[in-house]
Amino acid sequence: MSKSAPSFTCTACAASFRKWAGRCENCGAWNSIIEEAPLSSGPKAIGPRGRQIPLSDLATEEAPPPRAKSGMSELDLVLGGGLVPASAILVGGDPGIGKSTLLLQAAASFARQGVKCLYISGEEASAQVRMRAQRLGLADAPVQLGTETSLRDILTTLDAERPGLAIIDSIQTMWLDTVEAAPGSVSQVRAAAHELVNFAKRRGVAIIIVGHVTKEGQIAGPRVVEHMVDTVLYFEGERGHQFRILRAVKNRFGASDEIGVFEMTGQGLAEVTNPSALFLANRDAPAPGSAVFAGIEGTRPVLTEIQALVAPSPLGTPRRTVVGLDSGRLSTILAVLEARVGIPFTGLDVFLNVAGGMRVTEPAADLAVAAALLSAREDVAIPRDMVLFGEISLSGALRPVSQTENRLKEAAKLGFTQAALPKGSKPGAAIGLNLRGMADLAAFTGEMFGA
Ligand code: TYD
Ligand code: MG
């Protein structure tokens, strides 16, 4: 990019354009494009230029340093088995969801395991951070605190201190004096993150960068940083719910889609080591419209309750409201039910929800979704001790999904006694469950609802 050329950047997705537009062509956000000063310097090369090493030599270099464990098992799991030295990690999430709380607890845990930790807050005064630490019962944890927003000063401190882990809370408050833009702008966020990631690699300091998700406006969101870091974690949850889910959406050092589950309490975040039990804890008496899905999140099985409500619609175009699932998937399943099984939802409002604030993305949830919908429509409850899973194809056939055995084992562990699943699934050594294999949605509907 030539230095004089004006540059316009979308604050939502960081796409850059030659000219301004009201709507971002890349992500579709309105009013998100702003003019930005071009980057003054490109990425600097690390180490001697152009040196090449045969791949085989890399393998014979010493074994990778061990990962540091925090002792917070949910966090270690999401990181892919602990913190990788010199890695750069982004933790994104809505403001107020609990990122600072999580990371202060993480810093204390890592510090207690002997990792030198520096927590730098650009948002709160040190008295405020200390108050939070007291509330969390961490006032005596050996964590170094800093309140600073000048990245140059922060990097100088990090260079002198050489901690094992530095936490930067948040990237939107940081600024570099070489960039002529306000903190939080795309160019500042990008340049600051770039410096931090470079520093992490060069100096062997693991860095966790906090980024607030911004709906719209002048502040650049964590997406600007996503491609620069090794690991991207999002902290999610409904504000009214106490459950929080830390989800890996990208991880160079572990499974993506891994989740860690926490509960926000008066004394900070408590780990939930058995999420299935938690998500199913408040299940009401058997009621029409509820189906338990045996899912896989990352490397572990998680059972969730899928709830549907179907009611006559007063509207010309009935409502389709979905929370925690993909709405496109709902439309597909409704279409398959109508076309292949002959059960229409025309004139009916449909509400679909995953209990506990979970978000389910697996196609394996199809069968449980269809079951919840049918159960709500026919007003017939699904047996309380049954789990369901399976992908529905457009022909209405049920397709086996991965990790059948793990799903069934988790269900058996939680006291379920039967499972509806695609015919041809390989249950392996899963025992103690009555398996009801079904070839297609019509067979399922006939067997479960006599329709
Ligand atoms: P915070 O970590 O400040 O959120 P973020 O850094 O993502 O903006 O969390 C703020 C919320 O968490 C606030 O609404 C209060 C609540 N909270 C608790 O419920 N218990 C606690 O122990 C703490 C420290 C915060
Ligand atoms: Mg915060």
Query: What is the residue-level pLDDT of the chain in tens, covering all 451 positions?
Result: 444 566 888 877 778 888 888 888 888 888 888 877 655 444 444 555 677 777 776 665 566 668 999 999 999 999 999 999 999 999 999 899 999 999 999 999 999 999 999 999 999 999 999 999 999 999 899 999 999 999 999 999 999 999 999 999 999 999 999 998 889 888 899 999 999 999 999 999 999 999 998 776 556 777 889 999 999 999 988 777 788 999 999 999 988 888 999 999 999 999 998 888 877 877 767 789 999 999 998 888 999 999 999 999 998 899 999 999 999 999 999 999 999 999 999 999 999 999 877 889 999 999 999 999 999 999 999 999 999 999 999 999 999 999 999 999 999 988 899 999 999 999 887 678 999 999 999 999 999 988 6
For residues 129 and 233, state if they share a domain.
yes
CA of residue 70 to ligand 2 center, whole Å: 20
Residue of 264, 265, 269, 271 to test ligand 1 pocket, by largest number of atoms within 8 Å of CB: 264
Same domain (yes/no): 408, 326: yes
**Same domain assignment for residues 291 and 433:** yes
Q: Enumerate residues 6+ apart whose C-beta is below 8 A from 316.
A: none
Q: Quick check: 381 and 288 in contact, CB under 8 A?
A: yes
pTM above 0.90, yes or no: no
74 close to 272: Cβ distance less than 8 angstroms? yes
Among the candidates 257, 273, 289, a domain finishes at 273
Both 128 and 165 in one domain: the answer is: yes
In this prediction the ipTM stands at 0.97
Ligand nearest to the CA of 137: 1
Report if residue 54 sits inside a domain: no
Q: How many CB atoms lie within 10 A of CB 424?
A: 11
Q: From residue 299, give the alpha-carbon distance in Å to each of 10, 256, 288, 383, 408.
A: 35, 9, 31, 28, 14
| Boundary of a domain, candidates 273, 293, 315 | 273
Is the C-beta atom of 97 inside 6 A of ligand 1? yes
Query: Are both 88 and 112 inside the same structural domain?
Result: yes
226 and 314 share one domain: no
**Ligand 1 contacts CB of residue 132 (under 6 A):** yes
Q: How far is the CA of 45 from the centre of ligand 1 (A)?
A: 39
Q: How are strands ordered across the β-sheet holding 16-17?
A: 16-17, 7-10, 33-36
Domain-ending residue, one of 248, 273, 298? 273
329 within ligand 1 shell (Cβ under 6 A): no
290, 315 contact by CB (below 8 A) = no
Considering the domain architecture, whether residues 267 and 283 belong to the same structural domain is answered as no
Report which protein residue has its CA nearest ligand 1's atom 16: 98
Question: CA angle, 154 as apex, 212 and 88 as ends, to 5°?
Answer: 55
Q: d(Cα 201, Cα 199) in Å, to the nearest integer?
A: 5
**SS3 category, 65:** coil
The annotated binding site for ATP is made up of 93-100
CB neighbours of residue 317 within 10 Å: 6
Q: What is the CATH number of the domain that holds 258?
A: 3.40.50.300
Cβ-proximal residues to 164 (8 Å cutoff; 6+ apart), any chain: 68, 85, 110, 115, 116, 117, 205, 206
Strands of 299-401, DSSP E: 300-312, 320-323, 348-354, 386-388, 391-392, 398-399
**Atom 14 of ligand 1 has which residue's CA nearest to it?**
96
Q: Residue 61 burial by CB count (10 A; 0-12/13-18/19+): exposed, middle or buried? A: exposed
Answer yes or no: do 210 and 301 share one domain.
no
Q: Which residues surround ligand 2, an ion (CB under 5 A)?
A: 100
CA distances from 403 to 65, 276, 331 (A): 31, 16, 26
Is 396 part of a structural domain of the chain?
A: yes
Asked if residue 164 is part of any domain, the answer here is yes
* 159 inside domain: yes
Which ligand approaches the C-alpha of residue 121 most closely?
2
Range of the domain at 417: 278-449
51 belongs to a structural domain: no
In a domain, 41, yes or no: no
Whether 63 is in a domain gets the answer no
- 122 Cβ below 6 A of ligand 1: no
Name the domain count of the chain.
Answer: 3
Determine contact, residues 216/30, Cβ cutoff 8 Å.
yes
Query: Quick one: 285 and 269 in the same domain?
Result: no
233 and 298 share one domain: no
Q: Tell me the helix, strand and coil percentages in the chain, rounded to 5.
A: 30, 25, 45
Query: Of ligand 1's atoms, which has the minimum distance to the CA of residue 210?
Result: 6
Residue 43 is assigned to a structural domain of this protein = no
For residues 335 and 221, membership in a common domain is answered with: no
305 plus 209 within the same structural domain: no
Please choose, from the candidates 84, 363, 352, the residue with its C-alpha nearest in 3D space to the C-alpha of residue 201: 84
Domain of 368: which CATH number? 3.30.230.10
